[in-house]
């Protein structure tokens, strides 16, 4: 394992994974690390990096793993977990997300414990939390 790589990697399935990849890169600043195309315009597997962290995603399909995972669209918009991502330039990141069409669910604000935080939904309803608070250095 790379010494600077994260060892917890969130994974998700998207109904339109190619569009999700483009949007996540544009709105949040993820970078394509690996994208493996599937059949009929789907994504078999993708790895997007953000700093020294990563998410993995792919298109929804009928597989063993997919029987255990549902997207928020399949659950009336409910998320059962969400990621918190540390961003140094939080105000600029917030504006970038808005410019890309993110649905802001919790407006950017200063927190009592330190840092600034906001939450938003991506086009398929996944909840994302971004903040300048870094628990590793506070």
Is residue 6 very low, low, confident or very high in pLDDT (cuts 50, 70, 90)?
A: confident
Same domain, 88 and 50: no
Please report, for the domain that includes residue 97, its CATH number.
3.30.720.110
* pLDDT surpassing 70 at residue 72: yes
Query: How many angstroms separate the CA atoms of 55 and 98, rounded?
Result: 21
Query: How many angstroms separate the CA atoms of 95 and 27, rounded?
Result: 9
Same domain, 41 and 84: no
Same domain, 136 and 86: yes
Q: pLDDT tens digits, residue range 85-132? A: 999 999 999 999 999 999 999 999 999 999 999 999 999 999 999 999
Please report, for the domain that includes residue 48, its CATH number.
3.30.720.120
Same domain, 88 and 60: no
Same domain, 44 and 8: yes
Q: What is the pLDDT of residue 7?
A: 86
Where in the sequence is the domain holding 100, given as residue range(s)? 79-138
18 closest CA partner among 59, 47, 49? 59
């Amino acid at each position: 394992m790379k010494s600077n790589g994260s060892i917890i990697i969130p994974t998700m399935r998207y109904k339109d994974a190619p569009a999700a990849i483009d949007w996540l890169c544009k709105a949040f600043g993820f970078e394509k690390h690996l994208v493996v195309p599937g059949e009929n315009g789907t994504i078999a597997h993708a790895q997007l990096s953000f700093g020294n962290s990563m998410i993995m995603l792919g298109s929804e399909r009928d597989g063993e793993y997919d029987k255990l995972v549902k997207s928020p669209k399949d659950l009336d918009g409910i998320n059962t977990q969400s990621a918190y991502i540390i961003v140094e330039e939080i105000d600029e990141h917030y504006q970038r997300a808005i410019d890309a069409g993110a649905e802001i669910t919790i407006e950017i604000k200063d927190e009592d414990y330190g840092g600034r935080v906001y939450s938003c939904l991506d086009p398929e309803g996944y909840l994302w939390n971004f903040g300048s608070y870094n628990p590793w250095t506070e």
